[in-house]
């Protein structure tokens, strides 16, 4: 059986994701699709709108055949490490192709860009340090460094978020000597961070979440932008767990963690650097909401995403020694769900797997899994009463979701 791999967050699964999934299967000629999906917290340092189990159901209902969890140690990192972890999962799972969405849509431009950066890495890193010293954020410094070295139209625009991820996927495949081939599909209509609906049927996940958390919070507003299965899952989740997850739900817990910590203690958390701990403490004392807190700590040097990840690691008590490692490959495959075709594929492939296939938490132990379960406990805190209890029960008792035809 031929498999195509996709790297996803599905926050939530929408029509743009459906288009990508269908095109990935069609263009690769794959029999099944395998997703490496972030858990309850995401690459931009945000809590997922709904749990990883709810998003797994969305994925399976839409045509994904196997969902593996991308561990917290990779899922909440900058693009390079995020890509390394995802590529290692899909490679180990035996995918023939990795298909990613991009603003470029030109695979040869990605290859040329990667080759250029490999040949000019020392000068590229020097330029990044130069622009960072001028007070630019790291992503901005990368874009400026690249523009100063390679203004050619034959390269991708690495100021675009999906282009950046795509570039890192290809670099990770080369470093890991993955046998997968790469394939890219141009993103349709909506931009990655668009906050407003841009077409009749395609919208970014950002604009969908914005509508759900808006003043009216009406579900009907997003109906045309998501598959029916997603729409039903969102309604069911809201009823069962009492609402969706956002940073504002976790603000009281984060504020407490900040105010009871010393600067020295804060400096032990991952991504807290260069005196940022003092800025965090001063802002926490005055802020009454997460939005207000973020606006007060945001600077030209630190992106909103970087600061959200800092806050997330403080919230989840994640230290530098737990995240920094020279090994950028996963050590196990945690199965979240599979279709019948996915299960048939796993039955064929499992004898060839070099890593443990984890379907039951109590049967496996690993530091990365400890991070994931701790994050799951924190994730559940945003809900009250039975909603919190159900979320915790899902994490520790839920077997992989098996979709029947």
| Bridge partners, 283 (sequence order) | none
Q: How many residues does the chain have?
A: 405
The Cα 72–Cα 43 span in angstroms is: 9
pTM summary value = 0.93
The Cα 380–Cα 385 span in angstroms is: 10
The Cα 223–Cα 59 span in angstroms is: 17
Q: What is the pLDDT along the chain (405 residues), one digit of tens a residue?
A: 999 999 999 999 999 999 999 999 999 999 999 999 999 999 999 999 999 999 999 999 999 999 999 999 999 999 999 999 999 999 999 999 999 999 988 899 999 999 988 888 899 899 999 998 888 888 888 888 888 887 666 788 888 889 999 999 999 999 999 999 999 999 765 444 444 444 557 878 888 998 888 766 678 889 999 999 999 999 999 999 988 999 999 999 999 999 999 999 999 999 998 889 999 999 999 999 999 999 999 988 888 999 999 999 999 999 998 887 667 899 999 999 999 999 999 999 988 999 999 999 888 999 999 999 999 999 999 888 888 889 988 888 889 999 987
User: Residue 194 is inside which H or E element, if any?
Assistant: none
Q: Helices then strands (H, E): number in the chain?
A: 19, 8
The Cα 8–Cα 46 span in angstroms is: 14
pLDDT given for residue 199 in this prediction = 54
pLDDT given for residue 151 in this prediction = 66
Reduced DSSP (H G I as helix, E B as strand, rest coil) percent helix, strand, coil of the chain, to 5: 55, 10, 35
């Amino acid at each position: 059986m031929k498999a195509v791999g996709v790297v996803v967050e599905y926050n939530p699964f929408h029509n743009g994701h459906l288009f990508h999934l269908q095109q990935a299967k069609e263009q690769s000629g794959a029999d099944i699709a395998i997703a490496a999906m972030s858990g309850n917290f995401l690459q931009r340092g945000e809590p997922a709108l709904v749990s990883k189990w709810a998003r797994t159901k969305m994925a399976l209902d839409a045509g994904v055949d196997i969902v593996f969890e991308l561990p917290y140690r990779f899922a909440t990192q900058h693009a390079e490490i995020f890509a390394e972890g995802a590529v290692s999962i899909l490679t180990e799972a035996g995918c023939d192709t990795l298909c990613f969405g991009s603003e470029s849509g030109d695979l040869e431009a990605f290859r040329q860009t990667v080759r250029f950066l490999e040949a000019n890495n020392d000068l590229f890193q020097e330029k990044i340090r130069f622009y960072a010293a001028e007070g630019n954020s790291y992503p901005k410094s990368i874009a400026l460094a690249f523009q100063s070295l390679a203004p050619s139209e034959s390269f991708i625009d690495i100021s675009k978020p999906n282009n950046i991820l795509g570039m890192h996927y290809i670099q990770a495949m080369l470093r890991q000597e993955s046998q997968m081939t790469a394939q890219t599909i141009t993103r349709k209509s909506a931009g990655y961070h668009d906050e407003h609906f841009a077409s009749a049927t395609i919208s970014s996940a950002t604009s969908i979440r914005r509508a759900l958390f808006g003043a009216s919070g009406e579900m009907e507003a997003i109906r045309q932008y998501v598959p029916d299965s997603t729409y039903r899952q969102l309604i069911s989740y809201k009823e069962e767990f009492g609402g969706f997850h956002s940073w504002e739900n976790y603000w009281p817990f984060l504020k407490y963690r900040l105010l009871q910590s010393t600067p020295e203690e804060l400096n032990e958390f991952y991504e807290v650097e260069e005196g940022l701990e003092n800025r965090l403490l001063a802002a926490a004392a005055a802020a009454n909401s997460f939005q207000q807190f973020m606006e007060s700590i945001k600077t030209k040097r630190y992106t909103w995403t970087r600061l959200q990840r800092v806050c997330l690691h403080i919230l989840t008590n994640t230290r530098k020694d737990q995240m920094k490692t020279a090994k950028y490959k996963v050590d196990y495959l945690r199965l979240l769900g599979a279709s019948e075709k996915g299960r048939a594929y796993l039955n064929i492939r499992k004898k060839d797997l070099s890593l443990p296939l984890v379907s039951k938490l109590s049967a496996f132990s690993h530091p990365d899994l400890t991070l994931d379960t701790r994050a799951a406990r924190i994730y559940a805190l945003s809900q009250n009463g039975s909603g919190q209890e159900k979320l915790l029960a899902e994490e520790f008792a839920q077997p992989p979701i098996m979709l029947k035809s």
